[in-house]
Amino acid sequence: MGAGLGRSLRAEWTKLRTLPSTAWLLLGIAALTIAVSAAAAAPVDTGNCPSPAECFEDTVKVSLSGVRVGQTVAVVLAALVICGEYGGTLRTTLAAQPRRLLVLLAKAGVLAAAVAVAGTVGVAGSLAAGHLILPANGFTPAHGYPAFALTDTTMLRAALGTVLYLVLVALLSLGVATALRDTAGSITTVLGLLFTAPILTLVMTDPEWKERVERFTPMNAGLAIQATRHLERLPIGPWTGLGVLALYTAGALLLGTLSFIKRDQ
């Protein structure tokens, strides 16, 4: 199995890197994450904070907020990884490697690695932008706010967790796309799953139901990993929230795998 998986990984990497859209989509993940994060951080200042103790702005989370937009490109890339082959090249892939599980494992591995690299660039750039913008807006150690430093364990957890979040979203999209076999349909389904709940929480008046939605829906729960302040106020803990997203991803991949193995093509 090891040799077969290795060959499949090389084949999938060759296909991914030779697609004209791949480089642009990976660049889009990083660039959009950085640009939106910088735009979100620019207007945030301490003007409405009587003192640091009374200011609840999470500067790390603000600096990483662009991932909400960057993830949409990861969803598109993941859908193209599998749906792009249903036009005819899948038969060639399966002729070269008849073991469908290995094919899907290789696609997932290559996709995860590519998104992890792009996500790391996006997260690093976003934190660098926050480091430049937010101290100029008053968020400095002199005023009682923590300095930006990856040596801080909470910031490191938020940074690494955000990269994992992007990888899990991409794999979620791969699972859905494998099951649906339709690029537009899978992208719409995944984006609806991610963004419908946050929109609902804006109009919900019942605090109990709002908390349930925030705890058990993929984007709300998964992005809890970015929080670095007032963790006791979160509806769900950072790693627990990422675990909720991981369960959604595992379910989608299981559904996609069973569908892929059982169908004729």
CA gyration radius for the chain?
20
Give the tens place of pLDDT for each residue, 79-121. 999 987 876 677 777 777 778 888 899 999 999 999 999 999 9
Q: How high is the pLDDT of residue 87?
A: 65
Does the structure show a pLDDT above 70 at 1?
Answer: no
Q: How high is the pLDDT of residue 247?
A: 97
Given pLDDT bands bounded at 50, 70 and 90, which one contains residue 63? very high
Query: What stretches of the chain show up as alpha helix (H) in DSSP?
Result: 2-18, 20-41, 59-63, 67-83, 89-96, 100-133, 153-180, 183-203, 207-216, 218-222, 238-262
Percent of the chain with pLDDT over 70: 93
Both tokens of residue 183? Answer: 């690029």
Given pLDDT bands bounded at 50, 70 and 90, which one contains residue 262? confident
Q: How high is the pLDDT of residue 122?
A: 98
Given pLDDT bands bounded at 50, 70 and 90, which one contains residue 2? low
Mean pLDDT (whole number) for 235-254: 96
CA distances from 88 to 7, 91, 103, 241, 265 (A): 21, 6, 16, 39, 10
Q: What CA–CA distance (Å, rounded) separates 177 from 161? A: 24
Contact 104, 260 (CB under 8 A): yes
Q: What is the torsional sign of CA 172, 177, 183, 189?
A: negative
| Short-list 130, 123, 126, CA closest to 163 | 123
Higher pLDDT pick, 77 / 98: 77
Tally the domains of the chain.
Answer: 1
Mean pLDDT (whole number) for 45-52: 72
Among the listed ranges 55-59, 60-64, 136-140, 181-185, which one has the minimum average pLDDT value? Answer: 55-59
Residues 6+ apart with CB under 8 A from 260: 100, 103, 104, 178, 179
Q: How high is the pLDDT of residue 211?
A: 80
Q: How high is the pLDDT of residue 171?
A: 98
Mean pLDDT (whole number) for 54-68: 88
Give the tens place of pLDDT for each residue, 123-159. 999 999 999 999 888 888 777 777 777 778 899 999 9
Domain of residue 95: give its range: 2-262
Mean pLDDT across the chain: 88
